[in-house]
Structure 1
């Protein structure tokens, strides 16, 4: 009798409709809940797209935005992208997104969206489009945020993996990245931290990374000190006199790969009336890194390894 009752119970369980557990993640301090994993995803920008590629989500991506309007893509990116269409070369419109019928838009503030702009979570919600917001960008709508750390990248990959049903793959990626960064820290932990300045191209006033931008955390992870760490912002402008007074010993130059790229930026600094006398410029100590290496994404890890080797060549 007990055996027959057990068989009946198993039969009921097997024939019942499968139960889908709710998925809830933090989204700039608010909860974002899904009853089931999205099937149609749009991603803005190269760095977030590379997160999705690292999780193997190509078959769920129905479109990209903000890729070719600003950057040159790498052969690896192009191979991973395949025939996924680009819906807008720079910032998308609501119409661009709605036409592709996505369930989820992965973007950020000033990464595809602007506070008070046309495309925001609120303007997309009436069309059934949920928005996952890049954590680094939350500072633009919530000033009560901690300074940047590599946990920004780890958390975003894990959130995206959880939402899209590839949580184990996300955890595996993060575990590997943490191991690689621990290896860098082990080599550089006892070394002096050189003063580092990051520059996003020639300009009348330098555009650089403050304490809320991921490069601040990357420089620290590589065994350096960001001379603009005290800037109470994400990306923002400083003054050349302020940077020169900090006397950076090493430069990170954002390389858009137009013209001679970072080489042109370094030449600009060599000819600059106040920057030309800094240690970094006099000693020609600099490295050029691509946009996707300096915005939250998988390329951050190799970029940190590159910076660490350039800062501490005797330790590698």
Structure 2
């Protein structure tokens, strides 16, 4: 039987065409990957057993049909929620730390790209092909940050705003709800319940150690300001102070932060002043501002120089809640923690 021989010229021509096609495909996929959200094989496989999730996020309803695979966190407390839930493998980037990451999460954190010290530009944000953006503060979802929620949705990116940080008068249950929401989105609900149980147990142990308080300490929160102080009113600081056995002297103002007058601070006569530590103004400078303010000379906290320093990272609505309660409680009632 005779075997039909191929024409060598035809074979070479076909090979040449095949090389061109493969090269063109390689260039095309490179461009597509940089411009559109990642649709990896892993995501498709991971989503086969994924139950769609619908979550009320503020006045928005979020519907998620596939587990996010390339999340970006945009504030410290949201980053630490993700890490506490063991979700680092789903994080394509992170940004905006107020403080060092908690030691127990450092190894996980070092494996995640840091996009910016503050909010990343839209270009830097989109360059990591995110499919989920998780912000602690509304300021992240602005045009001069990563973009509005509506714009992100147009790009196929789900935006979740940490609810407890953006409501007036949040309680610890509101933080737990945020943790549960994130856990539902990433299908790790059992981890959330273990985390919440651990946080709650730690807080309750501290409260048991404080014991019954007949008259809570009067507490003034000093954020900043020389002519008129900026203070915490009905944000989570009020709840933290309450859990630690104190009472925020400005908790009657129905907003999260407010400018008040030094005269009103004097009238309410705090026994302890909590200084919030963040930004470019050192704690010592804030303390000297208070000590040098002649109008405050008769205030008990100034006379006794009773100051407590709380980092902003601990004051935020996140997994540091037990740390914040313990810090405040030990300062308010040191005799109970000897």
Q: Same fold (TM over 0.5)?
A: yes
Deviation at 1:107, TM superposition (A): 0.6
8 Å CA contact 2:271, 2:306 repeated in 1: yes
Residue of structure 1 in register with 2:130 after alignment: 102
Runs of 4+ in 1 over 6 A off after TM superposition: 115-118
Residue of structure 2 in register with 1:120 after alignment: 148
Provide closer, same or farther for how the CA distance between residues 116 and 229 of structure 1 changes in structure 2, counting only shifts above 3 A: farther
- State which of 34, 41, 44 in structure 1 corresponds to 2:71: 41
Structure 1 unpaired stretches of 5+: 1-16, 140-144
- State which of 188, 199, 219 in structure 2 corresponds to 1:196: 219
Provide closer, same or farther for how the CA distance between residues 209 and 113 of structure 1 changes in structure 2, counting only shifts above 3 A: farther
- State which of 166, 172, 179 in structure 2 corresponds to 1:157: 179
- State which of 228, 237, 261 in structure 2 corresponds to 1:205: 228
8 Å CA contact 2:120, 2:146 repeated in 1: no
8 Å CA contact 1:38, 1:104 repeated in 2: yes
Residue deviations 1:258-291, cap 9 Å, x none? 57x3232112110012223311111111111112
Deviation at 1:218, TM superposition (A): 0.7
How does 1:1-316 map onto structure 2 within 5 Å?
18-67=48-97, 71-74=98-101, 76=103, 78-114=106-142, 119-139=147-167, 147-188=169-210, 190-191=212-213, 192-211=215-234, 213-256=235-278, 261-316=282-337
Residue deviations 1:56-93, cap 9 Å, x none? 111111111223xxx44257265441132222322333
8 Å CA contact 2:206, 2:326 repeated in 1: yes
Give me the TM-score of the superposition, normalised by structure 2.
Answer: 0.78
Root mean square deviation of aligned Cα: 2.4
Question: How many angstroms apart in 2 are the aligned matches of 1:315 and 1:45?
Answer: 34
Question: How many angstroms apart in 2 are the aligned matches of 1:74 and 1:113?
Answer: 23
Higher Cα radius of gyration: 2
Residue deviations 1:3-34, cap 9 Å, x none? xxxxxxxxxxxxxx954311122211432121
Give me the TM-score of the superposition, normalised by structure 1.
Answer: 0.83
Structure 2 unpaired stretches of 5+: 1-46
8 Å CA contact 2:75, 2:137 repeated in 1: no
Deviation at 1:116, TM superposition (A): 10
- Stretch moving more, 186-195 or 277-286: 186-195
